[in-house]
Amino acid sequence: MLPPAPPGVVPYITQRSEERLLPYQLIRRPVWPGIAYPDETPYDRDSFGTLWLRARLLPKSRRGEPDLRRVHAYRQRRAMLDMLCQVCARPPADPDGPQLFLMRSTGGPIRDGERTTSPPVCVPCAAITVQQCHALRGDQFVAAWVRHTPAWGVAGTVHDPVTLEPIPGRSMEAVEYRAPDSFYVLAARTVVELQGVVAADLEREWAAMGADRLEAEFARVAASMQLVA
Ligand SMILES: [Zn+2]
Given a contact cutoff of 8 angstroms between Cβ atoms, the answer to whether 112 and 145 are in contact is no
Distance 126 CA to ligand 1 centre (A): 7
> What is the rounded average pLDDT of the residues 69-85?
96
The residue extents of the domains of the chain are 14-228
* pLDDT score of 56: 86
Residues with a beta carbon under 5 angstroms from ion ligand 1: 85, 87-88, 122, 125
Residue type, 86: Q
Dihedrals φ, ψ of 69, to 5°?
A: -85, -10
DSSP for 127-164, written as a single string: HHHHHH-GGGSTT-EEEEEEEE--EEEEEEEEB-TTT-
pLDDT for 74 beyond 90:
yes
Per-residue pLDDT band for 58 (boundaries 50, 70, 90) equals confident
Distance 49 CA to ligand 1 centre (A): 30
* pLDDT score of 229: 45
Nearest-angstrom CA–CA distance, 96 and 157? 32
Per-residue pLDDT band for 139 (boundaries 50, 70, 90) equals low
Distance 205 CA to ligand 1 centre (A): 14
Q: What is the pLDDT of residues 78-134, one digit of tens each?
A: 999 999 999 999 999 898 999 999 998 888 899 999 999 999 999 999 999 988 866
* pLDDT score of 206: 95
Would residue 224 be called left, alpha or beta, if left means φ above 0 and alpha means ψ between -120 and 50 degrees?
Answer: alpha
Residue of higher predicted confidence among 132 and 24? 24
Given a contact cutoff of 8 angstroms between Cβ atoms, the answer to whether 15 and 67 are in contact is yes
